[in-house]
Amino acid sequence: MEIAMWLVLGVLAVVAVSALADRIGISAPLLLVVAGLGVSFLPFVPDYDLNPEVVLVGILPPLLYSAAYNTSFIDFKAKKGTIASLSVGLVIFTTLIVGWVTYLVVPDIPLAAGFALGAIVAPPDAVAATAVAKRVGMPTSIVQVLEGESLVNDATALTALRTAIVAIAGTVTVLEVGLGFLLAAGGGVVIGLIFAVIISMVRKAISNPLYDTPFSLASPYLAYLCAEEIEASGVIAVVVAGLLVGHKSPRIQSGSARLISEANWRAIAFVLENIVFLIIGLQLPYVLAGVQDDNIPLWLVVTCCGSVYLATVLTRFVWVYGAALLADIRWFGVPKTTPNWPELTVIGWAGMRGVVTLAAALTLPLDVVNRELLILVAFVLVIASLLIQGTTLKALVHRLRLRPPDEAEQALQQAALLDRMTRAGRNRLAELGALDNPELEVVVKRISDRAEDRRNAAWERASLRSETETPVQVYSRLRLEMLGAERDEVLCARDEGGFDDEVIRRVIRLLDVEEGMLDGPQTVVGGDDDLVTSERLSGTCEHLLTALPRPVPEEPVCGECIEEGLRWVKLRMCLECGHVGCCDSSVGRHATKHFEVTEHPVMRSVEPGEAWRWCYVDELLG
């Protein structure tokens, strides 16, 4: 009963502290660590001796699987060189440097034990990196690198730790180390591929979302345990399976299954991700007690902690900058890569450690010399990296003037993608003969209107907020009012009795689904006229490249709307003749009609703060 009570209190503490962090603008992991440190000194809070198996087997597999599942496989492949350099090369480099530093600082410690500590503190934490990175508004390119690195580096570090522990008890050759690492990594990849195929086949065959979710939760444990059973890397197996299954998910699962699974995984990942930071803070009394029992001098504790912390920070910068300088050299005719030094600086400073480091430290054999000191060093490094790097990253990003993900660009890309998607849907209706079937005219119009509303809503979100409501906003507002009244009436009928409870729940679920489908409010994406340009978007074609710029009218208007007594929503200008017409969300759709008559290929937005262009011929955003 007492264990259950503390578990419940832990979950409630995670929710409360996370909510407070959101309100005051601090990263939740950092605040949870501080809360755990503070609570650990309260007299009524029991000392919690963390079992490393709880983290390495109970918490790590689902967290890695969730992170890998939601990581872009395309982006991971595109940055595989950088990710491999950080997650393999840097981990090994850090292991060696920290090992030598520990060997020189701590008396009587074996070099293999120093390497063990190096492997323990080498991998930055997956959760800490992404949580803090997204919170401070880092560019997407940096977040992708940090996410990819943190997915794989645990496997490298845990393999290196195994080797170091074996070396403590005996001898091990460089050949054995290399062969063991290749077998562990290769075995993990093979197991991950096998399970990705199995998971995909099973989830494709499952039609009931209620069956799909439990199988999804069991998948990372199955992949991890099978890989560890044959002494392969369970971490790599889970990451490979998660990456591939996440990439295939839209093709193998129904929409309802993905929605239910995503909701469950978000809740589970939220609790697990945040409770590990609370656990880190709660470990302080246990770690300090171990050092006191061994009577380790304070000067040695301070010297060792400071030396290892500096070694991990400096080795990361040396590796990141060194790899960039090597890439800047032209090798064998291969074009060199120009380093982005501000981004490299942020990547170098973003090496925050987490609960895996602490759990790995607790796996050290009991007979290792100064074991408690090594555990304390790992603990201090985790706390220091979270509180020092974690709290200064935002200031560093702003100081280096790195731009966060551009909401305007993302909104425009979404609108262009929805255009493409809508065309594909209409083409499918044409293939089925529905467009030419008079009997289906009413149905086809309903379908087309909904697709067009969704497309127009995306283009409206890509524009600045205006004082007048757009048609989609009016529709959403009025429909929400209707849904509220409809829900109230259903609840009144429920309270009066006479309707089966299951019927009531089904009707409320229908209302909830429709409410969730309503297009939300517009995103404000203001800025200067060069906020979004062709250089910042991937799309380009001959028409976009050759279209000459034209001055925007001081007070642009849609002449056709004025003549016809209509009201426009947004205005667009033809770059060939300067004609200004209203957008497709407007009743008149005069910009599109102008193209249909003149075939002038390129128009641009003339709304304040927008500089994007659209090619009607190639249907491309630039």
Coil/strand/helix, residue 332: coil
CA distance 553 to 575: 12
574 phi and psi angles, rounded to 5 deg: -75, 130
Higher pLDDT, 176 or 92: 92
Contacts of 113 (CB under 8 A, 6+ apart): 102, 164, 168, 364, 368, 369, 370, 374
204 and 95 both lie in a single domain: yes
CA atoms within 13 A on the CB side of 219: 37
Contacts of 51 (CB under 8 A, 6+ apart): 362
134 and 186 both lie in a single domain: yes
Both tokens assigned to 577? 């003749």
Mean pLDDT to the nearest integer, 109-117? 90
Of the residues 366, 399, 432, which one is the last residue of a structural domain? 399
pLDDT at 538: 44
Domain containing 141 — which CATH number? 1.20.1530.20
Which of 182-196, 329-343, 568-582 is the least confident region? 329-343
Both tokens assigned to 286? 């246990």
Q: Is residue 445 included in any domain, yes or no?
A: no
Model-wide pTM > 0.85: no
Residue percentage of the chain with pLDDT more than 90: 20
Query: Which stretch of DSSP H or E encloses residue 621?
Result: strand 620-621
Q: How far is CA 549 from CA 169, 419, 555, 612, in A?
A: 73, 24, 18, 11
pLDDT at 559: 92
11 and 58 both lie in a single domain: yes
How many structural domains comprise the chain? 3
Task: Tell me the per-residue pLDDT of 39-69, one tens digit each, with 9 for 90 and over.
Answer: 887 877 776 667 788 888 888 899 889 888 8
With a cut of 70, say whether residue 519 has pLDDT above it. no
483 and 393 both lie in a single domain: no
387 and 343 both lie in a single domain: yes
Kindly give the pairing relationship between strand 613-615 and strand 602-605. Answer: antiparallel
Both tokens assigned to 202? 């099973």
508 and 359 both lie in a single domain: no
543 and 504 both lie in a single domain: no
506 and 607 both lie in a single domain: no
Task: Tell me the per-residue pLDDT of 256-273, one tens digit each, with 9 for 90 and over.
Answer: 777 788 888 888 888 887
Task: Tell me the per-residue pLDDT of 267-323, one tens digit each, with 9 for 90 and over.
Answer: 888 888 788 788 878 877 777 777 777 778 888 889 999 999 999 999 999 999 998
236 and 366 both lie in a single domain: yes
Coil/strand/helix, residue 538: coil
With a cut of 90, say whether residue 426 has pLDDT above it. no
367 and 514 both lie in a single domain: no
CA distance 100 to 185: 25
Domain containing 555 — which CATH number? 3.30.40.10
End-to-end CA distance of the chain: 62
276 and 173 both lie in a single domain: yes
Both tokens assigned to 292? 């006191």
Q: What angle do CA 319, 321, 327 make, to 5 degrees?
A: 100
CA distance 304 to 121: 13
With a cut of 70, say whether residue 513 has pLDDT above it. yes
Coil/strand/helix, residue 573: strand
517 and 538 both lie in a single domain: no
In angstroms and rounded to an integer, the radius of gyration of the C-alpha atoms of the chain is 29
Q: Is residue 506 included in any domain, yes or no?
A: yes
Residue 364's domain spans which residues? 2-399
Both tokens assigned to 161? 């730790």
